Amino acid sequence: MQNHSIKILCCFFLISFFKCGFIENKEFIIDSIDIDVKIERFDQKFDSVSNSNINNLKNKYPFLFPNKYDNDFWIKKKNDTIYKLLSTAVIEKFKDLDFVSNQIKNSFKHLKYEFPKIKIPRVITVINNVDYLNKVILADSLLFISIDTYMGKENDLYQGIPKYIRNTMSIEFLVPNIIEKFSDKLIKKSKNKNFISEMIFYGKKLYFKDIILPNHSDLLKNEYTKEQYDWINENEIFIWRYFVDKELLYVNDEKLYDRFLLPGPFSKFYLEIDKESPPRVGQWVGLQIVKSYVANNPKISLKELLSISNEEIFLKSKYKPRKIWQ
């Protein structure tokens, strides 16, 4: 009996050893990937634009200067009161972005490891009138960052913006926002629009962040506060029972998007607990289903996972909520 126990311990040790060795080797390979990332501060360059140098800037960034506008238009824009207010605030907040440049570079290395053929874009910061619906735009070989949307949730210029949106307008959310844009490009929507398929679609996007951003916290990747994250973990079985009991899994209803998948102040169960709940609980449950599938298929790569149908992932995930709701 004692020898049997020793064998089990040895096997466990060997499995743990090889698993740790794989992780270390993977990180070594990722770290050795040669990528040059430079954040181009177009916002600062535009702030110093004048009649004498505007053509030089237009030649370097033609995609930011539509032909239908003449030079006078851009000079007026630069001198516009609101634009100057935003520009001043950005300069005070972000004299440089070296501290986030390395994070972006590291995330691009992880992307390149998982998807070797992926294009690494030019990274360009702009001021875009606090367009929080377009904080990051990925256009093939160009990545635009609306830097005026990352100055911190308490910034006076954000007054009037809903709190649940302001909570994500800090620089620590930038890299997860960038990686989400890549997930938009790489994860295809299913033709099946029922609720469970949509949950798993968003679950894939969140799992994508987990793999590409292993050193970022779950709070940042899910855009939850600590209280929201604790609530959703403690109530996982309640959420799942609600979806099952209400027979929502195979329903095709756009109202479910608003209630459980899209950003908002909270999810909408139409119960007293609504205001205690975090938004997007359907996305989070989708992530747990994807994680359950991966646990049953540990050798699957991220690229392979994204090619598997949402329906197959659900059926083979053997998903069960982890905690008993009390």
The tens-digit pLDDT sequence of the chain (326 residues) is 455 555 545 445 544 554 555 556 888 899 999 999 999 999 999 999 999 999 999 999 999 999 999 999 999 999 999 999 999 999 999 999 998 999 999 999 999 999 999 999 999 999 999 999 999 999 989 999 999 999 999 999 999 999 999 999 999 999 999 999 999 999 999 999 999 999 999 999 999 999 999 999 999 999 999 999 999 999 999 999 999 999 999 999 999 999 999 999 999 999 999 999 999 999 999 999 999 999 999 999 999 999 999 999 999 999 999 754 33
Q: Which long-range contacts (CB under 8 A, 24 or more apart) does 230-236 make?
A: 231/276, 231/277, 231/278, 232/277, 232/278, 232/281, 232/284, 233/323, 234/323, 234/325, 235/277, 235/325, 236/285, 236/288, 236/321, 236/322, 236/323, 236/325
Cβ pair 148, 129 in contact under 8 A: yes
